[in-house]
């Protein structure tokens, strides 16, 4: 069955006990056991909760994995997956990785003896050159944040596999509707479910998904041991949000294409970064590995003054951190997602003071463009 059908008919669409068309919220921390010798499937809700499990099975199925794990945030999912590595291990990481991931790698995991090298992952040669004998992982984001750079996932995963390293992909921007890294040979998919998966700007959550049995066992051990699990209320909200993932992504993407094309024609907008534009250097690779360019784009304005006017004057797009909601969100990477990155690092990565990121929501594209026009050209 196709994605649109599978997202509704997940295997959890009817509660077997009551026939309810919504997964019950098991708001419990523990489960009574019948006998000393035989414990039931559930014993303590950190280890397993039926509401969370329905969500975990759903995300696993959508990503083409065998198991999914729900965490209290995207960073909890990413940090938990990074606990697969040990002191002395080395990671190769795409250079415009999410700011929070950069922060845990350079300030937390580095202290634990896990070293990272940041590379331009649009270049498979650069990835290959960064491998060392102790490289155990390759961490990618494509399209990357905030410059929407594209990495050839199948090519990169092949390089890593040949060297015995795992490939981890943060698939937040695409969601499994548009891109499924496990099907391209990657080992672990990570998400900030806070963004498009939940989609309504009302939950913080994260996911890890894999299809490898050994990795499933290890991630289950880490999830239970480290304990950064998602609660049942939030799990239920994400299950509800997920039901409309396809229609939200389709509509937001259609508007994002219109906005990107309009921006690209404006003289006060010297650069637009969006893999849906033919001029994007990664457009070809992206089209081969993903079902569409998504709903996030970024662009540079001609001056800092104009950048400020746009950010502070925008009413349809909220000036805020985050993305992937039903409402458009305009953000300022230099002071928001990449504030954790030292200014020199940020400048070297092209995250300038005139760069703006726009996550296109479900407003009418004509209205979004009219407001951008009045703020940029008015």
Q: Which stretch binds ligand PLP (CB under 6 A): 150-158, 187-195, 225-233, 240-248?
A: 187-195
**Contact, 151 vs 122, CB < 8 A?**
yes
Residue with tokens 């637009």: 272
Shortest Å distance, C-beta 119 to ligand PLP: 18
What is the DSSP secondary-structure string of 244-265? Answer: THHHHHHHHHHHHHHHHHHHHT
Centre a 10 Å sphere on the Cβ of residue 27 and count the other Cβ atoms it contains. Answer: 12
151 binds ligand PLP (CB under 6 A): no
CA distance 109 to 96: 18
Shortest Å distance, C-beta 364 to ligand PLP: 25
- Exposed / middle / buried, residue 301 (Cβ in 10 Å: 0-12, 13-18, 19+): buried
120 three-class SS: coil
206 binds ligand PLP (CB under 6 A): yes
**Window 210-239: contact mask with ligand PLP (x via CB under 6 A):** ------------------------------
Pick one of 116, 192, 255, 331: the residue that binds ligand PLP (CB under 6 A). 192
Q: Which stretch binds ligand PLP (CB under 6 A): 7-15, 23-31, 67-75, 346-354?
A: 67-75
What is the DSSP secondary-structure string of 71-122? Answer: ESSHHHHHHHHHTTS-TT-EEEEETT--HHHHHHIIIIITTTT-EEEEE-TT
CA distance 120 to 147: 12
359 binds ligand PLP (CB under 6 A): no
204 binds ligand PLP (CB under 6 A): yes
Residue with tokens 């596999």: 161
73 binds ligand PLP (CB under 6 A): yes
252 binds ligand PLP (CB under 6 A): no
Nearest C-alpha neighbor of 137 from the set 117, 158, 166, 116: 166
CA distance 364 to 262: 14
200 binds ligand PLP (CB under 6 A): no
| Complex with ligand PLP: residue 94 or 368, whichever CB lies closer | 94
Helix, strand, coil share (%) of the chain residues, nearest 5: 40, 15, 45
2 is catalytic: no
170 is catalytic: yes
Shortest Å distance, C-beta 363 to ligand PLP: 21
**Window 21-60: contact mask with ligand PLP (x via CB under 6 A):** ----------------------------------------
289 binds ligand PLP (CB under 6 A): no
Question: Which of 26, 98, 177, 274 is an active site residue?
Answer: 98
Shortest Å distance, C-beta 239 to ligand PLP: 17
């Amino acid at each position: 069955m196709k994605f649109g059908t599978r997202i509704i008919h997940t295997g959890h669409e009817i509660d077997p006990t009551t026939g309810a068309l919504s997964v019950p919220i098991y708001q419990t921390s523990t489960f009574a056991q019948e006998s000393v010798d035989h414990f039931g499937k559930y014993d303590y809700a950190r280890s397993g909760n039926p509401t969370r499990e329905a969500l975990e099975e759903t995300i696993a199925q959508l990503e083409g994995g065998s198991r999914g794990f729900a965490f209290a945030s995207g960073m909890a999912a990413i940090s938990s997956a990074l606990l697969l590595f040990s002191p002395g291990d080395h990671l190769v990481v795409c250079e415009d990785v999410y700011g929070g991931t950069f922060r845990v790698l350079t300030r937390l995991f580095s202290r634990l003896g896990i070293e990272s090298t940041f590379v331009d992952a649009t270049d498979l040669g650069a990835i290959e050159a960064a491998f060392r004998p102790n490289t155990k992982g390759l961490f990618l984001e494509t399209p990357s944040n905030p410059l929407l750079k594209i990495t050839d996932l199948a090519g990169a995963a092949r390089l890593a596999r040949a060297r015995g390293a795992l490939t981890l992909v943060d698939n937040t921007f695409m969601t499994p509707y548009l891109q499924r890294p496990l099907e391209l040979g990657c080992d672990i998919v990570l998400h900030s479910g806070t963004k498009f998966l939940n989609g309504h700007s009302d939950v913080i959550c994260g996911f890890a998904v894999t299809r490898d049995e050994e990795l499933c066992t290890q991630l289950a051990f880490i999830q239970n041991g480290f304990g950064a699990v998602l609660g049942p209320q939030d799990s239920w909200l994400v299950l509800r949000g997920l039901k409309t993932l396809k229609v939200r992504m389709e509509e937001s993407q259609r508007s994002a294409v219109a906005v990107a094309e309009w921006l690209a024609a404006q003289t006060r907008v010297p650069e637009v970064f969006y893999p849906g534009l033919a001029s994007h250097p990664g457009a070809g690779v992206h089209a081969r590995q993903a079902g569409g360019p998504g709903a996030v784009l970024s662009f540079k304005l001609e001056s800092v003054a104009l950048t400020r006017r746009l950010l502070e004057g925008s009413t349809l797009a909220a000036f805020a951190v985050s993305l992937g909601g039903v409402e458009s969100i305009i953000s300022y990477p230099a002071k928001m997602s990449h504030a954790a990155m030292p200014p020199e690092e940020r400048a070297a990565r092209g995250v300038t003071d005139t760069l703006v990121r726009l996550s296109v929501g479900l407003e009418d594209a004509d209205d979004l463009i009219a407001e951008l026009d009045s703020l940029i050209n008015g």
